Each structure stands twice: as C-alpha cells, then as structure tokens.
Amino acid sequence: MPTARPLFLTKSALAMMLLGLAVVGRRNAFWPLVNWGMYSKKPIHYPAPTATAVRLRIVDSTGQLRLVSAHELWGVDRLPIAMQSFTGAFDAETADARAAHRGYLVHLLDNIFPAIHVKQVQGVRLTWSVEPMAVPPLILAAPERESILGTFDADAHRRRAKRRP
C-alpha cells in the first residue's frame, strides 16, 4: 500500500493544524487572522451615525466670510484644548469666562491671520451624517445641519484685552 503513508501524513498535518488553530487561534498576539472581521468573534464597531464639529466663522473688515477650524489655530495635537476654548467663548458659565475665551480667540486669530482684520466672530456647530460604507463616509463641505452658538464683536474684545494690565 504505497498510498497509506502519504494519506497518514496528510491527516496528521491537518490534525496538527486544527489543534494549532484551536489553541492559538483565540489569542490576538499569536494569530493575526482573528483580527480580521470575517474571522473575529468580536463585533465590528462602526462610527457614530452623526459627527459634529465646532468651527468659527469670521467676518473681516471687507465683509468676507472665512470658516476656521480648531486645528488651524492650535494644531491637531491640541484639539481638546481648542474645543474647550471654542465652546467656552459661547457656552461658559460666567460672563468673565466667556470674555476671557473670546479675548484669547481674537488674539490668536490676529496672530495667525495677520493680513485679516477680524471684525466679527461667530461660533457654529456643524453636523454631518456618517455613512461608514460610503467613500468618503461624510462630505465636509456639505454639513447636514448648522446651528449658531453665538456671535461677538472682535473689536470690543481687542480693546478689552489692551486695557488689562
């Protein structure tokens, strides 16, 4: 029986492979296939159905509008601080806190955009619907909803910052 030996080796190899899958297959560090969606027993996590961002809409002395995001002012590594300052300029509990955030934003806008004389700053919360299977999953240029958080005059906060010692 010349075919008995190769058949035995094939069965042994398959048995060892199945045993290896059973033992090692559940540990992410040892078996990368369990991280793939179709092999994993973990549920697939999709992004939230909506995404929101707070942006500043600034009006310069010529009347032109410009939408400014947080990463333009602070950079990507400081986004939590940026979002606190953006929302604090409109949602802070006290008037002094709002004024401090607003003065800081005007100062920052003047430093980052020196060629633009900012007259008015408006806080805007933009909302997009996210479709995870679409490419791209959301279109940044076309938000679904836009709500105004508030508006303030930049010149008033510029003057207030100059009066402080």
The residues with which 50 forms a beta bridge, in sequence order, are 129
pTM higher than the cut 0.85 = no
Residue 29 vs residue 129, higher pLDDT: 129
- 94 and 142, same structural domain? yes
pLDDT in tens, 49-103: 999 988 999 999 999 999 998 888 888 888 888 888 888 899 888 999 999 999 9
- 103 and 73, same structural domain? yes
Give a yes or no: residue 95 inside a domain: yes
The answer to whether 123 and 83 are in contact (CB under 8 A) is no
Give a yes or no: residue 44 inside a domain: no
- 137 and 84, same structural domain? yes
Domain containing 16: what range?
4-35
Sheet-wide strand order for 145-153: 65-68, 50-60, 118-129, 145-153
The residues with which 84 forms a beta bridge, in sequence order, are none
The answer to whether 59 and 118 are in contact (CB under 8 A) is yes
Residue 42 vs residue 60, higher pLDDT: 60
